[in-house]
Amino acid sequence: MEKYSEVVGLPVICAETGKTAGTVKDVVFCPKSKEVKAFLLERKGFEIKNKAILLEDVLSLGRDALVVSDFKKAVYLDKIGEKGEVIGLKVYSRSGDDLGVVKDILFDYRTGTIEGVELSDGLLQDIVQGRKILPLFGKVEFSEENILVDGEASEEMDSTGGGLKNLLKWQRG
């Protein structure tokens, strides 16, 4: 599983030529279908404004680079179709509990599926308890402002292991 924050900034390497085509500027999501559509490119010195590599043209995505079949297949962003933002959306349970705000996205680049989101309850909570990972399974609804999840998904929310609370526990143990 990949994290949005770890993919942005990776070099994009063309398998055909071995050259660097640019870097990943952003990941293009479609909240309605809950999937990754493409990777927006950035390249210094050349005009590739609003060019993106479609998910199906990605050969591999590793810790250090995104490898594409052919950079010539890059398309303009407006050709991708439906897209939207996920980071910054508020997340609520169906019972009306505010679970936090999306700060990062976990996805499977092979299928394009958004598997989960990393939530923040605010700076103080992030420092004390760390951020939580919310798996997106069951009935999940995305809108332009919010994500609504089933209670079972919120019960499966895991701490990322960060925060002072976990650090202090670890040092005592």
Domain with CATH 2.30.30.240 in the chain: 2-79, 90-172
Rounded Cα distance between 93 and 84, Å, is: 21
Rounded Cα distance between 82 and 93, Å, is: 25
Predicted confidence (pLDDT) at residue 13 exceeds the cutoff of 90: yes
User: What homologous superfamily does CATH list for 90-172?
Assistant: PRC-barrel domain (2.30.30.240)
pTM of the model: 0.80
161 or 139, higher pLDDT: 139
Rounded Cα distance between 14 and 19, Å, is: 6
Rounded Cα distance between 116 and 51, Å, is: 26
Rounded Cα distance between 13 and 96, Å, is: 45
| CB within 8 Å of 106: residues ≥ 6 apart | 1, 2, 3, 4, 114, 115, 116, 117, 118, 133
Q: Give phi and psi for 11, each to the nearest 5.
A: -70, 145
Q: How confident is the model at residue 64 (pLDDT cuts 50, 70, 90)?
A: very high
CATH code that applies to domain 2-79: 2.30.30.240
Give residue 6's pLDDT.
Answer: 95
Section 34-63 average pLDDT: 85
The pLDDT > 70 percentage for the chain reads 80
Predicted confidence (pLDDT) at residue 99 exceeds the cutoff of 90: no
